[in-house]
Amino acid sequence: VTEAAEDAQDPNLRRDFDVIVVGAGLAGVTATRELRAKGKRVLLLEARDRVGGRTWTDTWNGHMIERGGTWVDRLQPHVWRELNRYELPIMADVGPARAFMPTLTGFQELDPSVAYVRQNALFTKFFEDSTRIYPEPFNPLKRRDLVARFDGFSMRDRLDQMALRPEDEILLTSWTSLYGGTSKRGALTHIQQWWALSGGTFEAFHGVNTYRPARGTVSILNAMLAESKPVLKLNSPVKSVVQNANKVTVTTRAGEAFTAPEVIMAVPVNVWRTISFSPALPAAHREATNVGMGVTEERKLWIDLANPKDRFVAESPEGRGDPFCFMGRFNDGDPVVAFTVDTTFDETDGNEVERAIRKIIPGAEVRDYVVTNFPKDPFALGTGGYRQPNQLIRLHAKLQQPHGRIKFAGSDIANGWNGYIDGAIEDGLRVAGSPTLSGPAAAAASAEERIVVPMVNRELYRGLGRR
Ligand SMILES: Cc1cc2nc3c(=O)[nH]c(=O)nc-3n(C[C@H](O)[C@H](O)[C@H](O)COP(=O)(O)OP(=O)(O)OC[C@H]3O[C@@H](n4cnc5c(N)ncnc54)[C@H](O)[C@@H]3O)c2cc1C
């Protein structure tokens, strides 16, 4: 059968492709679009019945909710460029009217701008070396020598080194635990790089959690897929990937086999260990997937609170038995979003959930809630990527290396906003051989103005509050 004759066939019946992309998250879909633009015949295999992976726009009790990744920002040039390219509208959270912040004995209610000023000073000190060790923040190993000095540090080590007054330290550990799973597990260099990517200011570091696609993160994926029209097979979890000198055979759990000279694995690092590779993965890849790169503690809840009904934010310190490190309602009428990394907390028990919120806000009343547990999901096995101490220098560059005919992609191994939507898109570009953005190119993408950007006041808590 000639290639032209094959192309005339229904592409859904093809078994042989130029590239097989495994995983239809933002990295896999970005890579697919780029390869389609280069004229490649691409098969995109996705385990779930939906695209998007660790982003998941859903409807719950009449609300559009994001069960995974949500916020995007101008400082994240890869996603910003996509929003502009497809003219996808964004919205800004209005932000909280009240802040519940931890004290040594409980919580106090503060004006959000007061909480913001306090945290600003503490975060700025926490991050004081960050822009120096990351002079080119999209190139994490540019100053390998400087980064090496911090590579073994956890965020807990940094807190210990700062020797803060206890009442100050507890204003930081909601964040260091949320991002790392625990402050001890999370590498200091990872969050330092995010700070450098934010330009080294608290306004921007906090502010990257302000805007979100008004039609959901799924609107980015749908726009990319509509443009590139790959052969997409949902409900097709890949079981094995076998390569020989000429081609790779990818077999699904249902026993369907497909071949291509090149395969892109755009599944989470933590999932690699559940797929059989022949020959076996290189040592660095095996280590990464066995130790884990996606945070394995985090669960995200959307809560219908009958009381209070207003906009608020609440933060809890690590290790004190207050399970929701971060929660809040940022728009009138929205449900409350809450994150927990407390592995002793049973978020499936509604009484426990209500009790935990009442410790912060007496009289809180839970009407209903929904939990998303990506760490328990076999196709995620974790939430956003976040390295552990000593992983950056030892593993990062190696994980981007191909294994024969197999390439790897994903936010978990991205150079820039690793652990974010932007990192997934960046890494999808990289693996497809398309240019990624840094330096002046990143600045130009961030300056794009084809979409309307609601004005926010970045001097308020979480950079919010309309001007
Ligand atoms: C709770 C939570 C909150 C977050 N908040 C933010 C935020 O506000 N802003 C932000 O920028 N980022 C956020 N992130 C991070 C962001 O969502 C991720 O970094 C990004 O979506 C990862 O994209 P990816 O393509 O690298 O991986 P994934 O989205 O995980 O895509 C991998 C795909 O591979 C598929 N797959 C897995 N195994 C197989 C298999 N065996 N066969 C076939 N397919 C398979 C999966 O189903 C999935 O579709 C958050 C993440 C979580 C979980």
All domains in the chain, ordered by first residue: 3-55+215-293+381-446 (3.50.50.60)
Q: Is 300 near ligand 1, meaning CB less than 6 Å away?
A: yes
Instruction: From the CA of 409, give the closest atom in ligand 1.
Output: 26
**CA of residue 453 relative to chain centroid, distance:** 22
Q: What percent of the chain is helix, strand and coil (3-state, nearest 5)? A: 35, 20, 45
Whether 325 contacts 184, CB under 8 Å: no
Helix, strand, or coil (residue 440): helix
246/262 Cα distance (integer angstroms): 9
Q: Residue 465: what pLDDT?
A: 45
| Residue position matching structure tokens 């290396």 | 401
What is the mean predicted confidence (pLDDT) over 113-127? Answer: 92
> Tens digit of pLDDT for each residue in 201-223?
998 998 899 999 999 999 999 99
Number of C-alpha atoms within 13 angstroms, CB side, residue 315? 25
What is the mean predicted confidence (pLDDT) over 163-184? Answer: 96
CA distances from 130 to 134, 159, 160 (A): 6, 15, 17
Nearest to 35 by CA among 261, 244, 275: 261
> Residue 92: pLDDT above 80?
yes
> Tens digit of pLDDT for each residue in 282-336?
999 999 999 999 899 999 999 999 999 999 999 999 999 999 999 999 999 999 9
Q: Residue 95: what pLDDT?
A: 86
418/420 Cα distance (integer angstroms): 6
**Does the interface ipTM go beyond 0.90?**
yes
Question: What are the structure tokens assigned to 184, written together?
Answer: 């001890």
Residue nearest atom 31 of ligand 1, based on CA coordinates: 25
Q: Is 232 near ligand 1, meaning CB less than 6 Å away?
A: no
421/423 Cα distance (integer angstroms): 5
247/260 Cα distance (integer angstroms): 6
What is the mean predicted confidence (pLDDT) over 80-103? Answer: 95
Question: What are the structure tokens assigned to 361, written together?
Answer: 């806000």
> Tens digit of pLDDT for each residue in 221-238?
999 999 999 999 999 999
Instruction: From the CA of 24, give the closest atom in ligand 1.
Output: 49
443/199 Cα distance (integer angstroms): 11
Q: Is 47 near ligand 1, meaning CB less than 6 Å away?
A: yes
Per-residue confidence at 354, pLDDT binned at 50, 70, 90? very high
What's the residue count for the chain? 467
Question: What are the structure tokens assigned to 124, written together?
Answer: 């700025």
Q: Is 36 near ligand 1, meaning CB less than 6 Å away?
A: no
Per-residue HEC secondary structure of 164-230 comes to CCHHHHCCCHHHHHHHHCCCCCCEHHHHHHHHHHCCCCHHHHHHCCCEEECCCCHHHHHHHHHHHCC
Number of H helices and E strands in the chain, helices first, is 17, 20
Q: Residue 294: what pLDDT?
A: 84
Please count the other Cβ atoms lying within 10 Å of the Cβ belonging to residue 103: 12
144/134 Cα distance (integer angstroms): 9
Q: Residue 159: what pLDDT?
A: 98
What is the mean predicted confidence (pLDDT) over 138-152? Answer: 98
Nearest to 320 by CA among 428, 464, 174: 174
- CA-angle at 41, arms to 38 and 43, nearest 5°: 120
Per-residue confidence at 395, pLDDT binned at 50, 70, 90? very high
Instruction: From the CA of 423, give the closest atom in ligand 1.
Output: 19
